[in-house]
Amino acid sequence: MSKNVFVVGLNDYNAERLRRLRGVENVTFHPLLTPAQVSETQDFDIPAMLAEAEATLDAFDGSIDAIVGYIDFPVSTMLPILCKKYGTPQVSLEALLKCEHKYWSRAVMREAIPDHIPKFTAFDPFDDNALSKIGEADLRFPFFVKPIKSSGSRLGFRIDSPEDFDFATEKLRAEIRTIGEPFDHVLSQADLPDEIRAVEGHYCMAEQVIGGRQCTVEGYVHDGEVVPYGTVDSIRYPQVLSFFYYLYPSQLPRKVQDKMWEITRTIMSHIGYDNAGFNIEYYWDEVQDKIWLLEINTRIAQSHCDLFEMVDGVSHQQVTIDLGLGRKPDMPRGEGPQNVAAEFFYRVFFRDARVARAPSRAEIEVASEAVEGTRIVSYVSKGMMLSELPEQDAYSFAIASVWMGAGKQSKLLWNYEQVMKKLNYEFTDIVE
């Protein structure tokens, strides 16, 4: 019989990707809410989105076999609520929040893997005495701050001085409630311990600075079995916090990856996470040979889909769909046409600027054809301000992404340079 899978925020490109998965011959994919509502905005009215999604599902004349998504907040936090109501497989809201509520997540990690986490504390950015309270928690400069519900790299800051903290606090106070208020609605649906309920959606985390070679372990849990299936390196631009490219498969030593996978099995089992995909970001401090766990994300990384398809033969949306239908994921390995693959981020390091020129669709197609199998997405158009872009880090703007594969990493980097030579962006009204 045909299965009906509802995908929150489904767009045309991902609809094509899903149809290339294994075992979907009898699956019909249905969009649930639009990308404009859930990912192309910073205004998240979760009660309204849930109401609209439920109205669509209630009106559907057929079986509802799976409700899935591959997008971060707010989609990730809406899925357990929708799946529970309609009886489809998904992780519990409480287990999900043990990952997504950054303070609760660190508290749980402290119980199971204390040697792999930094010092941390929660603070209220609207508290004028927050900096002194952070000091009382034995955190000294430098440290890092971010919302307790982060969304991408947005509103994350390295703090080296009181002036840095004042700058971060100003930004946090201005923007934190766009995440905090909708997250509070999600928290109100969950059974929380009192000490976690006291850390509200607008709170932030202060953490000891950790670092090293960064990577992401992709995995899933099916019927209690934790299965890591790939490690992707996260390469930053020199001397800054912004990502340059994601590389798959990882170039880290095998023993380091094996240890990360062991930590992954330990923490996800301890949390009680089940029947859903996830990824965990790690650092390996090569000098101290120490592994740090940065954070847990409760969905596959959409940026990595093309990388898995190029190297392994299928997007790891395979994991999302199979788990949504209650079956063990059929994820291949090494069956793709490339040995390595990457997503590159073309960035500009301005405070703000206006786009004076962006490449046309035809120019993007020509650039893509420079290296077979390349996909380019430009995020800007002529006349827009860079500050209009959603989900940006605090130090740069990603104006385009380039996905490509190759036989080896050095060839991949050379190919990227050839492609970017064909794309011309220009800016005015630059704020340095």
Q: CATH number of the domain at 190, please.
A: 3.30.1490.20
pLDDT, position 122: 98
For residues 432 and 343, membership in a common domain is answered with: yes
Q: Which residues of the chain have pLDDT under 70?
A: 152
Q: Would you give the distance in Å from CA 227 to the centre of its chain?
A: 19
Instruction: Assess if residue 258 is contained within a domain.
Output: no
**Backbone phi, then psi, for 413, in 5-degree steps?**
-65, -40
Contact 304, 250 (CB under 8 A): no
pLDDT, position 80: 97
Tokens of 59: 């009106």
Instruction: Assess if residue 358 is contained within a domain.
Output: yes
Angle between helices 93-100 and 177-188 (to 10 degrees): 150
For residues 88 and 124, membership in a common domain is answered with: no
pLDDT, position 152: 66
Q: What does the chain come to in residues?
A: 432
Contact 4, 64 (CB under 8 A): yes
pLDDT, position 154: 80
Give SS3 for 290: strand
Contact 233, 250 (CB under 8 A): yes
The total domain count for the chain is 3
Instruction: Assess if residue 141 is contained within a domain.
Output: yes
Give the CATH number of the domain where residue 83 resides.
Answer: 3.40.50
Would you call the peptide bond into 142 cis, given omega within 30 degrees of 0 as the criterion?
Answer: yes
Indicate the pTM of the whole model. Answer: 0.94
Show which of 175, 208, 241 is a domain's final residue.
208
Helix (H) or strand (E) holding 100: helix 93-100
Range of the domain at 62: 3-93
For residues 89 and 146, membership in a common domain is answered with: no
For residues 139 and 177, membership in a common domain is answered with: yes
Instruction: Assess if residue 248 is contained within a domain.
Output: no
For residues 40 and 126, membership in a common domain is answered with: no
Q: Which residues touch 132 (CB under 8 Å, ≥6 apart)?
A: none
For residues 72 and 131, membership in a common domain is answered with: no
Alpha-carbon span 154 to 175, nearest angstrom:
10
For residues 424 and 359, membership in a common domain is answered with: yes
Tokens of 432: 């340095």
For residues 84 and 126, membership in a common domain is answered with: no
For residues 65 and 143, membership in a common domain is answered with: no
pLDDT, position 239: 84
pLDDT, position 109: 98
For residues 45 and 128, membership in a common domain is answered with: no
Which residue reads 């749980």 in tokens? 108
pLDDT, position 160: 97
Amino acid at 326: G
For residues 22 and 81, membership in a common domain is answered with: yes
Alpha-carbon span 7 to 67, nearest angstrom:
6
For residues 123 and 201, membership in a common domain is answered with: yes
